Copies of this chain bind each other. A is one copy, B any other.
Amino acid sequence: MSQVRSALFAIAALVVSASAHGQTDALPSWNEGPAKQAIVAFVKETTDPASATFVPAAERIATFDQDGTLWVEHPMYSQVMYCFDRVGALAKEKPELAKTEPFKTVLSGDREAIGKLGMKDLEKILAATLTGMSVDEFHAQVSKWIAEARDPRWKRPYTELTYKPMQEVLSYLRASGYKTYIVTGGGQDFVRVYSDATYRIPPEQVVGTAGGTTYGYAKDGVPFLTKEPKLLLNDDKAGKPEGIHLMIGRRPHAAFGNSDGDKQMLEYTKAGDGARLAMIVMHDDAAREYAYGPAQKLPDTHVGAFTQASYDQAQKQGWVVISMRKDWKRIFSFE
């Protein structure tokens, strides 16, 4: 196999030489500026064997929040849209559901009334639409929806509403030997359905809010797993570093988020030794996407809030704030 080995060395040399000479721009959708510089500098610092902060390939872990970091989260998280749509399908299967709250309100389509549903109502909707079926049935239901559903503003599949600059970061990090993970407050089983096709992130590299399953047997003796309404991991806030430890077992070298829910993941990442990159996307582009904070006097929101306290912590701890308006040359692939 020595021919293989020498061919591999030849490839390694070509790859190193190409990147060392910067022949291509791995981040063409990024404007020149401190955010882009921070990414490129981090990759150089951690992948150049001569660097004091070189990281062995096996330890290169980068984690990405999904909603608001990799794709659009306004006016509402895509998974919540899924759950609401799913109530309609459920009501066809079980007509008595249409007479019961909060399902009755969801089915009414009355946006004002839906907007007033409380946390307990939402929990009932999530339990009814995300649990009780086999993992295979759930996978099939989400697959169908994700192919058919359209975002209300762009009239496109949600999976087309990923941010091109972030897709470039994913590809650039992978090309630099990083294993890329999604670490999302969204449902792990939900995101795993489309993560590979959408982000080239395989299911086993998706960490999300996860419920338990129960192993059992069908009448013919075939085993299957049922999704249970029992929370194992609430992958938000402190649950993000806890989930990273549970599912990955190593501290990331790079982490990307956009809201207060990512604070703990970002500070945990940044607290590691050597070179660590923490970045936070600020939605300050009402024209091309949305504008919300309330950091930097942007409008307040209940979906993906990024407070001034998190902005201040970013300045203090060296997280890099990404301004969608200033740092991103384009936002979507379809632009």
Contact = CB atoms under 8 A, between A and B. Distances in A.
B213 A267 contact: no
A249 B192 CA distance: 8
Given A11-B7, A196-B58, A225 B242 contact: yes
Interface in A156-207: 179, 188-189, 192, 196, 202-204, 206
A164 to B, nearest CB: 21
Contacts of A233: 232
Interface string A258-286: 00000010011001000000000000000
A277 B188 CA distance: 27
Contacts of A1: 14, 18
A168 to B, nearest CB: 17
A28 interface: no
B204 A249 contact: yes
A135 B268 CA distance: 13
A189 B249 CA distance: 8
Contacts of A179: 204
A304 interface: no
A250 B204 contact: yes
A203 B248 CA distance: 7
A203 B10 CA distance: 30
A223 B267 contact: yes
Contact of A11 (B4, B222, B264, B268): B4
Given A7-B11, A215-B268, 14 more contacts: A1-B18, A3-B14, A7-B7, A8-B11, A61-B204, A179-B204, A203-B248, A204-B249, A210-B246, A215-B241, A223-B264, A225-B242, A225-B245, A232-B232
Interface of A: 1, 3-4, 7-8, 10-11, 14-15, 18, 58, 61, 135, 179, 188-189, 192, 196, 202-204, 206, 210, 212-215, 222-223, 225, 232-233, 238, 241-242, 245-250, 264, 267-268, 271
